[in-house]
Amino acid sequence: MSDYSESDAQRQVSDLEKKSATAARLFDIRRIIGGLFVVYGVIVTIAGITASDADLTKAGGININLWTGLGMLALGLFFLAWLWLRPLPPTTPETPAEEQAPPTA
Per-residue pLDDT of 28-54, as tens digits, reads: 888 999 999 999 999 999 999 999 999
pTM for the model stands at 0.62
Q: Residues 60-100: pLDDT tens digits?
A: 999 999 999 999 999 999 999 998 888 766 656 555 555 55
Is residue 70 within 8 Å of 15, Cβ to Cβ? no
d(CA 64, CA 51) in angstroms, rounded, equals 10
Between these two residues, 35 and 2, which has the higher pLDDT value? 35
Is residue 96 within 8 Å of 10, Cβ to Cβ? yes
